[in-house]
Chain A
Amino acid sequence: EIVLTQSPGTLSLSPGQRATLSCRASQSLSSGYLAWYQQKPGLAPRLLIYGTSIKATGIPDRFSGSGSRTNFTLSISRLEPEDFALYYCQQYDKSPLTFGGGTKVEIK
């Protein structure tokens, strides 16, 4: 099973600042099949990024994904109030499909 480790657990930032979230895989994702989701309380996860760096439909340009093999990053260039939420990475390269433990982006 591919284990995904997200860091940091919590990121305390102010609106307008840049957020950098990390996701490390225990094995190489040679396909680049790594996705990022945003989740707000009481709601289902929302797909932000797939294929490491491809933005899902309707996702603002301030969100970007990068990385390769075992190290992946989600960046939010300038945090808007609605961006404060939980973020999960997920690999869909090998079964079982797995998720990271999440990074909470909170208002400082």
Chain B
Amino acid sequence: QLQLQESGPGLVKPSETLSLTCSVSGGSVSTDSHYWGWLRQPPGKGLEWIGDIYYTGITYYNPSLSSRATISVDTSQNQFSLKVSSVTAADTAVYYCARRGFGRPFDPWGQGSLVTVSS
């Protein structure tokens, strides 16, 4: 059974870079039929797609983050990562990683990681 687990600092200072890693178990990120994605949910608000990565390194991003997001994949470690630069309080959210099949939505999801931006 595929499982995803987010990890990273829970507190980041304004203007710094948020970094999270998603570890994948029970399956491989090097699958040719899936994307690996990041999403976020500010406290009490709705869901926002940040971007996806294919195992070859091809990425797709939501323009709403104005190029501040970078997603990378490490096939040797079976994980993928997210960096968001120049964070502000508006980036405070629960960050989720998830798998998405071709022509499919996100399933499964990680349990989520709360990142708070505060000095």
A interface residues with partner B (beta carbon < 8 Å): 31, 33, 35, 37, 43-47, 50-51, 56, 88, 90, 92, 95-102
Contacts and interface: CB of A to CB of B under 8 A. Distances in A.
A96 B62 contact: yes
B47 interface: yes
Contact of B104 (A45, A88, A92): A92
B59 to A, nearest CB: 11
Contacts of A45: 47, 96, 106, 109
A96 B104 contact: no
Q: SS class of chain A's interface: helix, strand, loop or mixed?
A: loop
The list of the 9 closest CB pairs from A to B, nearest first, reads A35-B105, A44-B109, A47-B107, A97-B49, A96-B62, A99-B47, A50-B105, A92-B105, A101-B46
21 contacts: A31-B103, A35-B105, A43-B111, A44-B112, A46-B109, A47-B105, A47-B108, A50-B104, A51-B103, A88-B46, A90-B47, A90-B105, A92-B104, A92-B105, A95-B62, A96-B63, A96-B64, A98-B49, A99-B48, A100-B46, A101-B46
Given A95-B60, A97-B49, A101-B46, A44 B104 contact: no
Contacts of A88: 46-47
